[in-house]
Amino acid sequence: MEKKELLYEGKAKKVYRTDDPDLYIVDYKDDATAFDGLKKGSISGKGVVNNRMSNLMCQMLQKAGVPTHFVEELSDRETLVKRVKIVPLEVIVRNVAAGSFSKRFGVEEGTVLKCPTLEFCLKDDDLHDPMINGYHILALDLATQNELDVISAYTFQINKIMKEFFLSIGIELVDFKLEFGKLDDGTIILADEISPDTCRLWDSKTHEKLDKDRFRRDLGGVEEAYLEVMKRIGLN
């Protein structure tokens, strides 16, 4: 399968059309942004880590019965995926308080939550991805109640699978962001990446951050952290 015209260039990925109208090629870049694009940089090798890790996670989830957009890894940075209409929501799960949750609720980072939480944000950089509730989503016709129920059920299932997997390789899954899309027949599937760009991953013992917070917070050792995650998940 070959890349045709460039359809979309985002902050971390390019999406191309292919000969098959139902399949796109995603090409992962090393570019990194944070704070709605205010902070810009590059993380050498990030595209490779994010592509390969996302594909591994998608395959693991597919085996467990969660449908995803993954079709085939074409190269270190390129993957063939199903064309979807993205549901314009960021679906965020948290197991441990960190980031905006800690700030919003005044809870110390690292506090283990009594149960996992789920929140939706509207995918809109200009508005800084504001948090949005189920009523808002229905009122703005961004998704139906049934779609929200399916997305929520998949999300908690994904959290359970990923939490156990990361624990087995000495990583605490603090929180992460998912995006879902719709196939032409209305089926909801997991789309977009699952990577150190979209997850907070802490070393279980030392609590060292092994994710994009190293870039966001200027902690140094950014490339090394991405490579460490790749090594631990068994990709070299």
Taking contact as CB under 6 A, which single stretch among the options 54-62, 136-144, 154-162, 191-199 is the one that binds ligand 5GP? 191-199
Among 78, 179, 192, 197, contact with ligand 5GP (rule: CB under 6 A) = 197
Neighbours of 117 (CB within 10 A): 14
| Residue 198 engages ligand 5GP in binding (rule: CB under 6 A) | yes
Burial bucket for residue 191 (CB in 10 Å: 0-12, 13-18, 19+): buried
Q: Sort 40 into a burial class: Cβ within 10 Å, 0-12 / 13-18 / 19+.
A: exposed
Q: How many residues sit in the footprint of ligand 5GP (CB under 6 A)? A: 15
Which CB, 82 or 212, lies closer to ligand 5GP?
Answer: 212
Task: Specify the residue, 23 or 122, whose C-beta has the smaller distance to ligand 5GP.
Answer: 122
Can you tell me which of 177, 181, 188, 191 binds ligand 5GP, judged by CB under 6 A? 177
Among 25, 199, 227, 230, interactor with ligand 5GP by CB under 6 A? 199
Q: Which residue has the closest beta carbon to ligand 5GP?
A: 99
Report the residue number, 83 or 200, with the smaller CB distance to ligand 5GP. 200
Minimum separation from the CB atom of position 75 to ligand 5GP (A): 22
Task: List the one residue from 28, 154, 176, 226 that touches ligand 5GP (CB under 6 A).
Answer: 176
Token pair for 170? 């000495």
- Tell me the two tokens of residue 73: 């890894």
Q: C-beta of 81: minimal distance to ligand 5GP in Å? A: 17
Query: Per rule CB under 6 A, is residue 175 in the interface with ligand 5GP?
Result: yes
Per-residue x/- marks for ligand 5GP, 95-114, CB under 6 A? ---xxxx-------------
Residue of 69, 200, 209, 214 interacting with ligand 5GP (CB under 6 A)? 200
C-alpha distances in Å from residue 42, one per residue of 21, 33, 89, 227: 32, 8, 26, 15
**CA count, 13 A, side-chain hemisphere, 25:** 19
129 lines the binding site for ligand 5GP (CB under 6 A): yes
Tell me: does residue 179 bind ligand 5GP (CB under 6 A). no
Residue 7 near residue 64 (C-beta atoms within 8 A): no
Q: Give the residues lining the site for ligand 5GP (CB under 6 A).
A: 90, 92, 98-101, 129, 175-177, 197-200, 212
